[in-house]
Each structure stands twice: as C-alpha cells, then as structure tokens.
Amino acid sequence: MTWNKEGIPHKGWHCIDVEDLADLVDGTEEIPYEQCEMCGNERIRFVHLMQHPDYPHELRVGCVCAEKMSDDYVNPRKAEDVLRKRASRRKNFNNKEWRFNPEKQTYSKKYKGEYITIKKSRYGNFGIFFANERFWNYNGKKFYSFESAERAAFEIFEELHTTQAEREHQYWLSRRNYYGE
C-alpha cells in the first residue's frame, strides 16, 4: 500500500483536475475503471489528479484518498457531483434521437427547445450547426465521424445552450435598446 511507502507525503497535496472515466466511452462500452495509486484498493471511476510540491509525480487517486491527502472533506465530493450531473446530462442528450432529413442531408434534434444539427461536408468530415454558429472543429479537433461530431455536439450544447427564460430576457433587452430607452 502506497500510504505506507517511504518518500510519499501523506498531507499537503492539492487537486489539479478530476476526470470521469465514464466520459471516455459511450453508454454501451464498459467504463475503464482505474486503481487508486495511493491505496491500490479503490476501483475508481472519478480520478482525482493530485500534485505535491515535494513529490515529482502526480498521483491518480480515488475520492477517499484525495480527501485525506488534501485534508479537504468537501470539495473532492463536490467535484465528483458536478461530473456525475454532467454525465447524466450527456446521457439525456444522447437519448434524444437524431432525425435525418433526406432533402438537406442533415441530422437534427430539438433539445430543450433548441435545434442542433449535424451535416456531412462534401469533404467527408462533419459540421455542427447551433445557435446561429457553425463548428467544423471543437478545441482544434475536426469531426471525421458522426460519433465524434455527436460528442462535440453535446459539448457545444452545454456551452451555448440558453434557457427559454434567458432567450426572452435577451429579446426584451434588445427591444428595449431598439426603443432607445
């Protein structure tokens, strides 16, 4: 057990990132669980990436160890909660099926009141249309398969989706400016 290994500090770690391993696969594949690098026991889905000023490597650990190492019994769980909710939003997004429009050769879905569309370009890659914008890549990555476009569609939706209330508010603001108030 690493907790007993010499040279590895027990306290004074801080978390630099938390990953959800389930986010790497789609709903049908098995989650690539990892073993906690601190205790070796936990079968982890959420990896807390821990860093220490006196230790040269980052450690990938589970929630229980992350709590002890950082002496923080609130934020590690909170971070997992945020990712868990995101995962469930992604699942809901993916459960809503794309509708193929043979005329336009597009795949669209209406989700939470907004349309999002995927279209194959004549070069074979895919583009995403949402909120009056076109995306031919996301974070610098082009979409060479429908699946990769679908993954990015969720990210883009998360980033740009506005609620009905927000849209009405924006509309109201634009009207107000229009009338020069």
> Interface with Zn ion by CB under 5 A: which residues?
36, 38-39, 42, 62, 65
Plot region of 66 (φ>0 → left; ψ -120 to 50 → alpha; else → beta): alpha
Of residues 65 and 149, the one with the C-beta less far from Zn ion:
65
Q: What are the phi and psi torsion angles at 107 (to 5°)?
A: -115, 125
Of residues 20 and 42, the one with the C-beta less far from Zn ion:
42
The dihedral through the CA atoms of 51, 54, 59, 62 has a sign that is: negative
Of residues 38 and 152, the one with the C-beta less far from Zn ion:
38
Min dist CB 52 to Zn ion, Å, is 15
Query: Tell me, what amino acid is at 31?
Result: I
State how far the Cα of 43 lies from the Cα of 99, in Å rounded to an integer.
38
Q: Crossing angle for the helix pair 63-70 and 75-95, nearest 10 degrees?
A: 150
Of residues 19 and 155, the one with the C-beta less far from Zn ion:
19
Min dist CB 114 to Zn ion, Å, is 41
Min dist CB 80 to Zn ion, Å, is 14
